[in-house]
């Protein structure tokens, strides 16, 4: 009986951790934005706008602010004329690189699985 309780507590902790991660990464756009930053390292706002098909300026701005608040992305203002802004993953955000790559690989395999006759 003790083993079942220990396993249940361990499972609860994992589920709670996944819920925490999903809370931070939730929404239609965040993972796509993170993928763009993961595969391209540094991106201008307009680059991200082009990378993430269908996102509006306002929504991209909102999502980037939330990624900054959660310390996953950072904004770098360059001293150029006109001023340029680059976004990149923080060291904390870079910890998601393997997750994003695995998700990308799985998505590729899933598309093949679903579309094969």
Look at residue 3 and tell me whether its pLDDT is greater than 70: no
Q: Which residues span the domain enclosing 77?
A: 29-115
CATH of the domain at 61: 1.10.10.10
The residues that bridge with 76 in the sheet, in sequence order, are 86
Q: In whole angstroms, give the CA distance from residue 96 to residue 34.
A: 8
Distance (Å, rounded) from C-alpha 88 to C-alpha 73?
6
- Total domains in the chain come to 1
Residue 81 within any structural domain of the chain: yes
Please provide the DSSP assignment of 45-78 as one string: HHHHHHHSTT--HHHHHHHHHHHHHTTSEEEEEE
- Side-chain half-sphere exposure of 4, counting CA atoms within 13 A: 1
Q: Is the pLDDT of residue 1 over 50?
A: no
Residue 17 placed within a domain? no
Tens-place pLDDT, residues 11-29 = 899 999 999 999 999 999 9
Instruction: Answer yes or no: is 92 within a domain.
Output: yes
* Tokens at 40, concatenated: 């391209």
Length of the chain: 117
Residue 52, domain member (yes or no): yes
Task: Write the pLDDT tens digit of every residue in 47-66.
Answer: 999 999 999 999 999 999 99
């Amino acid at each position: 009986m003790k083993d079942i309780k220990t396993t249940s507590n361990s499972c609860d902790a994992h589920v709670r951790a996944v819920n925490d991660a999903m809370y931070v990464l939730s929404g239609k756009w965040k993972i796509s934005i993170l993928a763009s930053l993961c595969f391209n390292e540094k991106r201008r706002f307009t680059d991200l706008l082009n990378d993430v098909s269908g996102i509006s300026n306002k929504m991209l701005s909102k999502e980037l602010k939330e990624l900054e608040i959660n310390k996953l992305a950072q904004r770098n203002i360059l001293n150029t004329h006109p001023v340029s802004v680059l976004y990149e993953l923080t060291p904390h955000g870079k910890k998601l690189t393997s997750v994003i790559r695995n998700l990308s690989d799985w998505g590729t395999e899933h598309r093949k699985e679903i579309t094969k006759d």
